[in-house]
Amino acid sequence: MLIGFLSSCCLYGLFFWGMSRVSATSGAIADGANPILASLMAHFLLHDDKLTRRKLWALGLAFAGLCVIALVRHP
């Protein structure tokens, strides 16, 4: 329980500290990248999660969308 409590406190503490130091747009983009990274990491950490061509296209499209948003907001 102690390890779980400390890791949660450290995770959220650093997350909110970092979010207070960047613009709202940058924070939203970073937050939007979490599901993309989580689905990519699932392939490497879960033995039954296969990274198919369709999933690769979806991840690429999602990442491209984040890049477009970042470029439009921060030229």
The pLDDT tens digits of the residues spanning 10-38 come to 888 888 898 889 887 778 777 888 888 88
In the chain, how many domains are there? 1
- Hunting for tokens 């689905």 — which residue is that? 39
Is position 75 within any domain?
Answer: yes
d(CA 70, CA 1): 39
DSSP-derived 3-state class of residue 6: helix
Is position 5 within any domain?
Answer: no
Enclosing domain of residue 29: 23-75
Which pTM value belongs to this model?
Answer: 0.61
